[in-house]
Chains A and B, each alone.
Chain A
Amino acid sequence: MSTDVQHSPDMNDPARKSANGELIRLERVTKRFGDHTVLDHLDFSVEAGKHVTLIGPSGSGKTTILRLLMTLIKPDEGTITVDGDQLFPAPEKQVREVRKKIGMVFQQFNLFPNMTVLRNITEAPVTVLGLSKDEAEERARDLLELVGLTDHVDKHPAQLSGGQQQRVAIARALAMRPQVLLLDEVTSALDPELVAGVLDVLRDIARSTDITMLCVTHEMNFARDISDQVLMFDSGRVIEAGTPEKIFSEPEHDRTREFLSAVL
């Protein structure tokens, strides 16, 4: 099953993207909240299929990047491009198209409490992608197998533990077959003993699919484990970037060293 999660034919279609396989590009993106400038003319890009982790102190703008990409907020300036198509600025119709390529898992799960686990996962594939109910349910059951929750199909979110809810949320995001999966501190709201189960599922997905991942996390071991690239953020800027080995073993920047010694 797991190899079936991500089959995007255009992922490898060179005509769709620039030569270096860039999937996400933010150009001179500025985001202010009131007087506070979170991102200041940020340039940022992610290559297709890479697993990129954003680390850094809170308030440094990591989550803001994910929220901009998910179109939950709009930048004040700049452009955002996904897979060669502009996401911002863009007309609503185009935003809806481009957004299909992006999925997100939230810190607080945000499952729909009025729906069963199964319907949480099938709702969007049916109403947005136009899958038949049977197709969507088959896809949902496969994904529930992947996240180890086949016994909980007909339960409501309130009947599940936080870790189980988060795994349903991962399945729900994957059911849309996005090219990019945004993970926003997905284990921060979980009891410590439930964290491992969620991270295992994500490791599995990272290894067995070609999905692009963009994570904000405080789980440094997880970041080390799945990332191709780690970006250290401070005050809305990338102050250091590199492989996890380099960032965690021999950080160059003082701020990175301070941050890592505080969290590790």
Chain B
Amino acid sequence: MAEEQQQQQQQETVQRDMEGVNCLAHDEAIMAQQDRIQQEIAISNPLVSDRQDLSVLNSEYAQDDTVYQQKIKDLHRKYSCIRKTRPDGNCFYRAFGFSHLESLLDDSKELQRFKAVAAKSKLDLVSQGFTEFTIEDFHNTFMDLIELCEKQSSLGDLLSSFNDQSVSDYVVVYLRLLTSGYLQREHAFFQHFIEGGRTVKEFCQQEVEPMSKESDHIHIIALAKALNISILVEYMDRGEGGAVNNHVFPEGGEPRIFLLYRPGHYDILYK
């Protein structure tokens, strides 16, 4: 999270500094800088971490940072563990994907339901106009991982798949496509929530489908609805009150996935 903000700030600085220089040098400088920052983030953060005791959060904030320390205490009342994701702009999708597939390892009923939904989802996208041959590799990777869970593979196998950059990114691409597909199918509804005079399609092309674009409520609702999975997000920020606030997407659902949101970043929580 801090890293993502830092990355943005640095990008903006570069962009300001480069004003007036020609666009090619400008772009290349930004890309080089982005690559450097991403490498630094990658070295210190696995795409998906091991499960850790929730107390690891305590040390991330100063002891006299009462707002956060109080909220962490509040989190402890409801959760015992956390699994972190790399802050690379794809953390919501990766956290969601890993958390749900992990839960399928010992829930064969949900696995069968989910597998059927996932299998059919490609046809829905193709019938909406997505090009089959360009999306099928992403879909195949996604199905491969569901089948990995079906074969009663170990958690370690799933974790190493999610830490294989190309496998992991292909899953993220597919989850982004599902999100985009759902938003576009339900564009009449979602249009009201989109800022900047953009159409739903434009929003999807700018804020959903490109990698590293961060997720907001609208993305979470769309993906939760597309796959019919309820997601609970605990919000932890500098706000007053001493307690974390949570929100269930879509409202009224029975959540299966628990995520911790700190400004700009999602991690996975465990009861």
Bind each other: no
Which B residues are closer than 8 A to A by beta carbons?
none
